[in-house]
A and B are shown apart, each in its own frame.
Chain A
Amino acid sequence: MSSETVELGMPAPDFTLESSAGHPVSLSDYRGRPVVLYFIREFT
């Protein structure tokens, strides 16, 4: 299993995932505004 790295100053890789809102969300939907991306450790 490979793990890629992202770095400061680099563009964040775009992705699309299903969401709790009932529709897919893409990172690119948020272009034009600052984004906080928080990857949690687990759903508890």
Chain B
Amino acid sequence: MIGPGTVDQARRYAQRFRLPFSVAADPDRSVYRRFGLNRALLRLIQRSGVFLLDGTGTIRFAHAATNPEVSLPIQQVLENLRRLAETERP
């Protein structure tokens, strides 16, 4: 998980939601931009996105959203993750 803020904010976020993984901080949003997640609507809204990568680092699924209501298409992500796990199985 990556958030557009400071390491302190990332730490508080991870603690608050008791996340079992680390949260990376991208204060200048340079990694967001490298993944095509620029700000939208007069640059007021930071776009969110989810990407699934296989073991070689290749992008197998990508979804970007401006509307926070649809920021994470969970069913779609799970389906693609399941498919990815099957093809990655040795």
Contact = CB atoms under 8 A, between A and B. Distances in A.
Contacts, number: 148
Contact of A43 (B5, B33, B51, B57): B5
Contact of A6 (B10, B51, B88): B51
A37 B58 contact: no
Size bin of chain A's contact surface: 35 or more
Interface residues of B, number: 53
A36 B4 contact: no
B10 A19 contact: yes
Contacts of B68: 41
Interface of B: 1-5, 7, 9-15, 19, 22-26, 31-38, 45-62, 68, 71-72, 77, 81, 84-85, 88
Interface of A: 1-15, 17-21, 25, 27-28, 30-43
